[in-house]
A and B are shown apart, each in its own frame.
Chain A
Amino acid sequence: MGPDLNRHPGADALSAFADGEIADPSVREHLRGCAQCRAAIGDQRLLEVLLGRRRTASVGPHPDERELLAWAVDELDETRAAAIAEHIGACDRCLREALAVRRAHRNPTAPAPRVAEAALATFLAPTRQGDAPTQGVVRLVLDLLQALPHLTFEPFPAPTSFAADAQLSLEENLLGQVTEARDVAMHTRLGAAPAERSGKYNPVRFAPRIELPLGGLRLALELRPPRALLADLGRTLKLDGQELASGIAARIYAQPEACSLDLRAIDERTGAPLAGVEVSLVAQATGEHDVQCTDPDGRASLQVPGAVSRLTVAGHGSVEVRLAPT
């Protein structure tokens, strides 16, 4: 039968145990299962360290990081805990690391991650061994609308026509990426015929790198510094000057003056980089723009000129780029 975790040793006894004055096996056994009492002893040990009891000791080799962090969260057994305390009493680097994790553990007061639902969806759908790696391809994550209360999303308009293959391939691309998490954030029905393409899209959050099929080419976009791209399905996309019934707009969260958009144009059919493709970003409000041609490797880097800009790929179409207010 295990120790009764509801019967804590007295505070004096815990202090004395931590000071090595008593070696009661029942206290030791209780500590193995009781986080609260381990925390009390951890507090005492930390105070001792901060008061300088052990700061005159020699540093010695740094402990294994897992042991150090286990000490920080009071989950290291007593015999090793004393050795770690001895070390960090003399080693500022390890003490800082331990304090940073201890603070996060004791007071996880950080704001909630805005991608929690997406992370959970990822966690619930593990990749299988042998699956193609996702790094460097499209990193697509989902986000829920309530995580971004400052945004409003227009309802998905009734599709009337789909004039371009790009639109179709974009949708397929998106669905292909979120298949495993579709029940979390996407409720969409796509059929072969345009009339069957309907449904409600929730906002889809992309990582800083996305690939965007656009008018026969595939555009790999990467924002520097890394920020989230929000694809807002349901907004208007103009392709070769023709407005589609629905499309994709990319929202980019960053300060305009510090933001650039790296892109690479790739032939959708052959996968080869496309050189000499003119790409431009034009600020809607000021007309300020940056125009470049892709290099032999299909790459170009554009400064984002305004909070609302339009990225146009000559001969292929355009998407709206929005910078969210900070």
Chain B
Amino acid sequence: MPDDEPCPQQHLTEEEARRLVARVTARDPEAARRFFAHFRELLYSVLLSGGSLSRDEADELFQRLFEHLAKDDYYRLGQWQGRGSLTAYLCTIARNLRRDYYRERARQPLPGDPPDEQLPGPGPGPAETFDLEYLLECAQQAMLRLRARDQELIRRVDIDGQRYRAVAAALDMNENSVAQALHRARARLRAECERRCPGFAQLFARS
């Protein structure tokens, strides 16, 4: 990352998040709009991330989520109280709502459904299961595509957990060189992973 590049301002610092939530719970409409604009995309994506909700259902849950947050004078939002990550707190609420919805759906089978038919539960869907195995396989395959030196560095540090000093001694390098070479090797590994598996790029910061 370039040393002189400014940090993106699209994230909220802890202090900004605390101030924003305080203003929302004090019924400041401008703050509520900002809060909504900041989190709507993420929370909708989180609702859809399980893979077994239709878009209509996600829309319904999205609506419920913001009802839930606004209920009783933003009681649920106010419960965050500045402890921990606000993003994680909201994601947790979204996922809990989704779990509740799965349970609700399972309790109310559609007319005509066989009585013992199980509707999809809150566990990972086939897409997620496939994704994980595929990602792990891609990471392994990408490693094999690297130069031997890069593989050696990554294997020693990231897989075997060796210290830089031990790696430097084993590979006849100095410690600073290990840090630099390792960083470059990891960048090449990530690029190779993303080349082999487009899903990889979705998990990492944009290059």
Contacts and interface: CB of A to CB of B under 8 A. Distances in A.
B161 A53 contact: yes
Contacts of A70: 84-85, 87-88
Contact of B203 (A103, A134, A226): A103
A245 interface: no
16 contacts: A15-B179, A15-B182, A40-B205, A47-B189, A65-B92, A70-B85, A76-B88, A93-B124, A96-B132, A100-B46, A100-B124, A104-B48, A110-B45, A127-B72, A131-B72, A207-B63
Contacts of B183: 11-12, 15
A50 B41 contact: no
Contacts of A15: 179, 182-183, 186
Interface in B147-185: 154, 157-161, 163-164, 175-176, 179-180, 182-183
A126 B74 contact: yes
A101 B73 CA distance: 28
Given A35-B8, A100-B128, 14 more contacts: A5-B7, A7-B4, A8-B5, A33-B13, A39-B205, A66-B85, A66-B89, A75-B85, A101-B46, A101-B91, A106-B203, A120-B66, A125-B70, A141-B63
- Main SS of chain B's interface residues? helix
B158 to A, nearest CB: 5
Contacts of B160: 53
Interface in B118-168: 124, 128-129, 131-132, 135-136, 139-140, 143, 154, 157-161, 163-164
A29 interface: no
A33 B63 CA distance: 32
B47 to A, nearest CB: 8
A76 B41 contact: no
B62 A47 contact: no
Contacts of A35: 7-8, 11
Interface string B53-74: 0011111101101110111111
A103 B203 CA distance: 5
Interface of B: 1-8, 11, 13-14, 27, 29, 32-33, 35-36, 40-42, 44-46, 48-50, 55-60, 62-63, 65-67, 69-75, 84-85, 87-89, 91-92, 95, 105, 108, 110-112, 124, 128-129, 131-132, 135-136, 139-140, 143, 154, 157-161, 163-164, 175-176, 179-180, 182-183, 186, 189-190, 193, 199, 201-206
A117 B128 CA distance: 30
A137 to B, nearest CB: 13
A10 interface: yes
A19 interface: yes
The 8 A-B pairs with the shortest beta carbon distances in the complex, nearest first, are A75-B85, A104-B45, A70-B88, A35-B11, A126-B70, A69-B88, A70-B85, A108-B45
A122 B70 contact: yes
Contacts of B46: 100-101, 104-105
Contacts of A44: 186
A103 B48 CA distance: 11
A158 B31 CA distance: 40
A102 interface: yes
A33 B12 CA distance: 9
Given A53-B159, A207-B60, A7 B190 contact: no
Nearest to A102: B203
Given A15-B182, A46-B203, A122-B66, A69 B110 contact: no
B157 A52 contact: no
Interface string A57-78: 0000000011101101101100
A251 to B, nearest CB: 13
Contacts of B91: 69, 72-73, 101, 104-105
